[in-house]
Structure 1
């Protein structure tokens, strides 16, 4: 370094000693003739210009004077810049992700420059927080998924489409029902009783926690998804960012000719049964003969109830859009229809979406954006007994009468099934559906007050209404007891949000500074009403036909509000050193009067080493950046009135026919936010512009966890919300992309993986566990989903009895393991396994040659145990002889004689020593790898299309969920890996009567005019 510095200083000295010769030698590149340019070559001039790339303006590019880097500026959001430099100077143009350029001024007063991309990902502009930045300049941990990467998987829910495509983002579903949304967590479970879903932000405005609001966008309108994971990225969303943030950006028009696009996807769905198979009549008869005496006459029927409960369905997805405009006014208008028939009979989803995104530069300083969206959805739900009957009904029982009508088991004396149900009979008459309408309108204003200072006002209103119907006809078993019953429910939501932002952005030489200040307020209203009636005429699912009620009407109204103020300072120097700091103060009506406000802060920094001189000559490294961040965020998803003392006014408190009130919830004026403290370090490295690797290490600690604490009956209240305990998530993520071939034949590979470990650090009041008697106690020192239950010890080879472990403590206090065939004597122990996976990820290969493309995408989960709860019903060793039974998985066996080493006890009529009770017997390896999607496409040559005035056309065939590799014995190993914020009865990691996922074969076409 010393020798290099001496050479530089020596060269500078020679230059000044021989200045005239040096200027003479530069005449070949800089015109020094003042008559040719009309400008004195030694005078300073002001240059204006615009920097673009092949896609449009490049904001944030730095322009400096080569001879004096202290003189510089940067481009604004439209790529424009202005700089005053000597007329004979040389400009250095830099921007992350683009090749550096040297531009001689040569007396020009206008210079427009087009940059050449060096790394496409680094130059991508992504939405982060309340602004946008180039991906290469981020100091935080984020994942970006483009619209192109979302293609392939057929769904009307964006979240299901990103499964396996971003490290640390776990998307899971316990159902293949198209009306059921998946669950999602980012970097583990950050709460025990509070919400764990990430915050959803659409087009710059907060929508709410994922799953708590109706959809306000169609996947076909999505331009990109940005997933914010560490505190430096999520922090500006303050009290609701503890579980991560998902930012959805919808499409906008581009200046130029109108672009009309049409896409159509049509395909067929079939239920997947995995390794699971039910017995037919002969198999069940042979099995039951080992422990009872079935009548051979039962073999006259062989009904496949599973085939009757399921079907092959159809998926349809049609979109038409128009976009375009001028430099001042742009538009994007689209309509979409999506229909998916579920693989269980009478179940389907129908969604209609209309979107209009309009923007206009009203004046040089004022820009208006108007975003309108409407979604109408009708979900038809399967008969509540269809799936259960498909699993459990006996093949001995007939489904149809001799005349082809469905059998009514209630009047069939020979019916043998335990539940006396035939869903085919009920399905003729019963109804269950929900229709919803979601409308949203965004009005956004951007006003350039003075140079470098912009005021923006982003405003949104949403209206969401649902109406649900559950009708049980008097002719069915479900409606017989009430002589026909009808349940109606309606909900209405209205949200108002106003976010007002002041942004200052300026450059001082190679220093670039952005300062952001935001004031934001949100108000939400929610109403619901529930009605029911009975004694309805057959086939009349209208409340006015009821002559009585089942229970009193119910309903309620909820409100909440949030308000916050935040500030952020974002600084970078010379495109190499980046630092960001922010502070958020937020208030919410959900928390106690004493602590309704919370303060959150975030810090982040990064260093692009590849822009340093000492790495310029290291040719293999095309990009290298180090990142670090630390900050605090919160979690406010715990209901709307958790801090207040509440009374319930209902029938239990009435007296003499008059309404009364009873204590229900004890107030806590000190209740406040859950708080997460997150530290993150990471690096991004690229080799030869063909290999890109991102690695992140994080430590996320949650404190003041919100929990609904039960109170003794003597207290007079049922429960109180308190801040209890702490837990941590610690993990490693990486994302690797390689461009294996880059010529005419292209091959790109992407692999992402995430490892996460969760530990409960402590609980208040000296408690060891939150639910000590549960199968997942949530105990100190353990993963939140560690299993604790009697441990299965196999089958006694001498008599076929089930065995469990029994812990015996001797006189010295030492524990010894014995076995017992008495379930009540078995010891509840930690099994050493958890419902939490050890790692998750995805793997994609994309090939293209000329107009042909092929992509294959796998997602995988490893190291979690699934409690296969439904086996207690159809794998119960003779307890439920009036239910069907499963065919044993390969490698399993039943005990038959002394000495047999079997996996299953001897079947005994009425059950064998409670063998189907909860124990580790039904815990199974939930690991799997799935071919989530494979797509083969062909881009029709333009020369073929020009005659019919089509600019481009692509045809493709696609397959979803075509293969799953797993040891799991059930229908499907994928289960919900996160709590259900709307249903506390859902146990993560549990599988019970699983709705099968759909294997899909789809055909599609995309056309642009």
Structure 2
């Protein structure tokens, strides 16, 4: 039964196995729901025998796996660099003498950042003619009312936090009944204050063989969770985003309000520290960077939470009226009630001017899946048949409602009833259904020769009624060649199988503004009107009744093997997946009244080779050593686009071109730095198509080029495990080689010091910027009056996406049974584990796992978790 929820809502302790279906024919049997891959999750069941009680408890600490970029942290260095930008503006752009440029630059420094943070002797500037901080300058400044000195915003908002997890399970069974029950609690605190994930989970799996011909059972899971991720929901400069700020704020700003004598100021009502929001209301100073925000204060005074109750279940009944025939009816249900509450406090920050704000959202998601299957197995000598016929229906509903208000009555009450002004609300509902007819036949001869074929006919409500049905089929063959007489006596071959498969699948998913579009064949309008009077709706999405199923034809051929007396086993497989009639929102001119239209625009191929190996060099007595690894080599090619596109589709910085990879960008090509002027140079073309360099970015913007394929050449993982006299050790890695990505964050940190970037931090690489003494560099000169030079978008920001990640290290010890049984314990294991241990990438702070198009540091990344635990079984 397909599962609609997030895998995090399933307690990992309840999972028996997770299997990725790579065989094209096997995946095709799951239809459109498996269009992007199929992962089979099997939860634990009880086994025959007495009840077994298992308790697992672990405690640990969370911290950031990927820290901030190598940014400036010293205010002196930042101000010296800012001085260079203003000096260059005066000297190179305004034509002033060095002395006049020096004087001008010193007058611009404190106005640029909005704060005076140094105390200077009367008549002296902050920076000397040598470009260095005046030795007479003292960090810290009082205006008579407030004292200003920089704070470490990263240390103030991001820190290690506690993690704890407890799990209990009871399982057992007889020859007719087996059961498994579990309960778990997880407290996974985030690395910024008031953030984290709390989860209570339970599961009950029961199978009962009531009669020889009747079996029924259920698998029920319930999860109650509370998620709090304040400050990472947006990456805009007006937000209180702690992660964005850690990299991007200059090291010159106070986080706290201080009295004139330098002591911290405290709120008289709450007793809390007062935070500097940089908007002139907290102090007498205003900053351009993230004005009216302070993550430290927001984390304390503002509230945000997701409350979720999730029920997922499966019920089945199985009839066996005659030998070999099974009739199975299954019902799967997924119900998610999510409440999202946000409170903006009425005293500080962006919400203060409204007297505080409250927002409540309620999201109810329900999905029901019915399956009715008939399977028949029959053998005739060495000929074995397995036939399946079935029908499947899926119904999904999404209901959303919200309410907001302003001017809070009670300080920290989430409810909109607690607001006085500007109350408003709204809602939406989406529905989606599929229907499918399933058939499959498996055949094998003496478990040596295998063949399989399947056929599905699927319908989707996302398409016009005339276009809803699609037909999909698959076929596969396999040959266990090691069973042939000519290999039976080959000692080093334990098992050798050759296999090939072909499968078709349909995809009906199409996004609208980043969200699923359930009615892409219909024109969609925004309802307008007021005071009970309906006005004509405004068209905001143009539908297309002619769109239909996106189709994928997948082909696999490879081998499975076990060799060297079962020491080496693995799989080598070639795959080729051709997707045709691709669903895409084709951009159109805004003069049409809409910006895009959904279309089936062409075809694309993903092909490559997958290798999995598992080697056990030692397996004797109390010593076992295992080594494992996998690698995927992937290539992508756009085969054909819609005829209207003339072989090319450009959408902003993305380009899709026939015969090339879809994983490339469309950017201005960087040509380095003019050694005589220090300006950025870019490649452009004249009317005859001849390439030349120019410092005019606007000209170069009309001559963008494709970056080439950014996909990695190979990615995968590897590791090893060792068991030795009760001790167990394992370490797992993942890696990626040969790829590239656009590093947005690094681009932001390498700005040229323009006034529009005032208050933004710099990467330490800015020290390589062009000067008359350093003409041979690829970093252009700093200049406060040039907006489209140093930080302009180009392929300069494309960087290697290679990485090596240490995902997990575990060390445990299981006490000897002869010791623990005297205590009434069947098994006792103590262990320590470290997850997301380290990431090695091309640049400090960069996380290439986010994707090839961009890298951002403004959201929660992977948490490093170091913990210790104990597991007992009774």
1:763 alignment counterpart: 641
2:79 pairs with 282, 285, 310, which one? Answer: 285
**Distance across 2 between alignment mates of 1:634 and 1:647:** 24
C-alpha contact (below 8 Å) 2:587/2:651 kept by paired residues: no
Q: CA deviation at 1:649?
A: 4.8
**Distance across 2 between alignment mates of 1:713 and 1:912:** 28
Report whether the alignment pairs 1:776 with 2:654.
yes
**Distance across 2 between alignment mates of 1:249 and 1:921:** 47
Report whether the alignment pairs 1:1005 with 2:870.
yes
Cα deviation, 1:178-212, whole Å, max 9, x if unaligned, reads xxxxxxxxxxxxxxxxxxxxxxxxxxx0124xxx6
2:264 alignment counterpart: 403
**SS of 2:320 mapped into structure 1:** strand
2:509 pairs with 637, 661, 664, which one? Answer: 637
Report whether the alignment pairs 1:465 with 2:337.
yes
Q: CA deviation at 1:686?
A: 2.0
Which structure 1 segments of 5+ residues have no match? 1-204, 978-987
Cα deviation, 1:416-469, whole Å, max 9, x if unaligned, reads 453223222232221111111111221111111101111111112222111101
Cα deviation, 1:797-821, whole Å, max 9, x if unaligned, reads 22221122223354xxxx4432222
1:393 alignment counterpart: 249
Q: CA deviation at 1:650?
A: 2.1
**SS of 2:759 mapped into structure 1:** coil
Report whether the alignment pairs 1:369 with 2:217.
yes
1:673 pairs with 542, 549, 552, which one? Answer: 549
Cα deviation, 1:595-633, whole Å, max 9, x if unaligned, reads 211110000000000011110111111111100011211
2:351 pairs with 467, 479, 500, which one? Answer: 479
Report whether the alignment pairs 1:723 with 2:600.
yes
Report whether the alignment pairs 1:418 with 2:283.
no
**SS of 2:198 mapped into structure 1:** strand
1:684 pairs with 560, 567, 572, which one? Answer: 560
**SS of 1:943 mapped into structure 2:** helix
2:666 alignment counterpart: 788
1:184 alignment counterpart: none
Report whether the alignment pairs 1:549 with 2:422.
yes
C-alpha contact (below 8 Å) 1:575/1:611 kept by paired residues: no
**Distance across 2 between alignment mates of 1:544 and 1:489:** 13
Cα deviation, 1:222-247, whole Å, max 9, x if unaligned, reads 01011112321111112232211111
Report whether the alignment pairs 1:929 with 2:804.
yes
1:990 alignment counterpart: 855
**SS of 2:769 mapped into structure 1:** coil
**Distance across 2 between alignment mates of 1:944 and 1:242:** 52
Summarize the alignment of residues 793-808 of structure 1 with structure 2, pairs less than 5 Å apart: 793-808=671-686
2:742 pairs with 867, 883, 886, which one? Answer: 867
Report whether the alignment pairs 1:606 with 2:474.
no
Summarize the alignment of residues 710-859 of structure 1 with structure 2, pairs less than 5 Å apart: 710=587, 719-743=596-620, 744-768=622-646, 772-808=650-686, 810=688, 815-826=689-700, 828-859=703-734
**Distance across 1 between alignment mates of 2:508 and 2:524:** 23
1:260 alignment counterpart: 53
1:299 alignment counterpart: 139
**Distance across 2 between alignment mates of 1:900 and 1:626:** 61
Q: CA deviation at 1:251?
A: 0.4
Q: CA deviation at 1:643?
A: 4.6
TM-score, with length taken from structure 1: 0.75
C-alpha contact (below 8 Å) 1:526/1:559 kept by paired residues: yes
Q: CA deviation at 1:667?
A: 4.5
CA gap 1:267/1:877 in 2 versus in 1, 3 angstroms: same
Cα deviation, 1:898-923, whole Å, max 9, x if unaligned, reads 45322322212234652211111221
C-alpha contact (below 8 Å) 1:748/1:845 kept by paired residues: yes
Cα deviation, 1:13-43, whole Å, max 9, x if unaligned, reads xxxxxxxxxxxxxxxxxxxxxxxxxxxxxxx
**Distance across 1 between alignment mates of 2:475 and 2:649:** 37
C-alpha contact (below 8 Å) 1:905/1:912 kept by paired residues: no
2:228 pairs with 372, 380, 387, which one? Answer: 380
2:166 pairs with 284, 299, 318, which one? Answer: 318
1:626 pairs with 495, 498, 501, which one? Answer: 498
**SS of 1:903 mapped into structure 2:** coil
CA gap 1:318/1:586 in 2 versus in 1, 3 angstroms: same
1:527 alignment counterpart: 399
**Distance across 2 between alignment mates of 1:667 and 1:787:** 28
CA gap 1:355/1:625 in 2 versus in 1, 3 angstroms: same
C-alpha contact (below 8 Å) 1:494/1:525 kept by paired residues: yes
**Number of equivalent positions:** 785
**SS of 1:598 mapped into structure 2:** strand
2:412 alignment counterpart: 539
**Distance across 2 between alignment mates of 1:850 and 1:711:** 68
**Distance across 2 between alignment mates of 1:214 and 1:958:** 21
**SS of 1:1001 mapped into structure 2:** strand
**Distance across 2 between alignment mates of 1:443 and 1:330:** 15
CA gap 1:656/1:964 in 2 versus in 1, 3 angstroms: closer
**Distance across 1 between alignment mates of 2:638 and 2:831:** 48
C-alpha contact (below 8 Å) 1:513/1:572 kept by paired residues: yes
Cα deviation, 1:473-512, whole Å, max 9, x if unaligned, reads 1212220342221221111122222101111112111111
1:907 alignment counterpart: 782
CA gap 1:241/1:875 in 2 versus in 1, 3 angstroms: same
CA gap 1:711/1:962 in 2 versus in 1, 3 angstroms: closer
**Distance across 1 between alignment mates of 2:7 and 2:357:** 28
Report whether the alignment pairs 1:273 with 2:93.
no
**SS of 2:155 mapped into structure 1:** helix
1:337 alignment counterpart: 185
**SS of 1:224 mapped into structure 2:** strand
**Distance across 1 between alignment mates of 2:767 and 2:570:** 43
2:768 alignment counterpart: 893
CA gap 1:232/1:955 in 2 versus in 1, 3 angstroms: same
2:835 alignment counterpart: 960
C-alpha contact (below 8 Å) 2:449/2:478 kept by paired residues: yes
C-alpha contact (below 8 Å) 2:249/2:761 kept by paired residues: no
Q: CA deviation at 1:894?
A: 2.1
1:951 alignment counterpart: 826
**Distance across 2 between alignment mates of 1:263 and 1:423:** 36
CA gap 1:821/1:441 in 2 versus in 1, 3 angstroms: same
1:23 alignment counterpart: none
1:495 pairs with 367, 379, 392, which one? Answer: 367
1:194 alignment counterpart: none
Q: CA deviation at 1:387?
A: 2.3
**Distance across 1 between alignment mates of 2:767 and 2:302:** 40
Which structure 2 segments of 5+ residues have no match? 86-104, 111-117, 120-137, 141-148, 232-238, 266-272, 511-515
**Distance across 1 between alignment mates of 2:49 and 2:589:** 70
Cα deviation, 1:141-200, whole Å, max 9, x if unaligned, reads xxxxxxxxxxxxxxxxxxxxxxxxxxxxxxxxxxxxxxxxxxxxxxxxxxxxxxxxxxxx
**SS of 1:469 mapped into structure 2:** strand
**Distance across 2 between alignment mates of 1:714 and 1:418:** 36
C-alpha contact (below 8 Å) 1:769/1:777 kept by paired residues: no
**SS of 2:199 mapped into structure 1:** strand
CA gap 1:222/1:617 in 2 versus in 1, 3 angstroms: same
C-alpha contact (below 8 Å) 2:222/2:312 kept by paired residues: yes
**Distance across 2 between alignment mates of 1:734 and 1:560:** 38
**SS of 2:245 mapped into structure 1:** helix
1:449 alignment counterpart: 321
**Distance across 1 between alignment mates of 2:789 and 2:24:** 50
**Distance across 2 between alignment mates of 1:962 and 1:647:** 47
**Distance across 1 between alignment mates of 2:31 and 2:347:** 55
Report whether the alignment pairs 1:327 with 2:199.
no
**Distance across 1 between alignment mates of 2:747 and 2:647:** 27
C-alpha contact (below 8 Å) 1:972/1:997 kept by paired residues: no
**Distance across 1 between alignment mates of 2:501 and 2:162:** 47
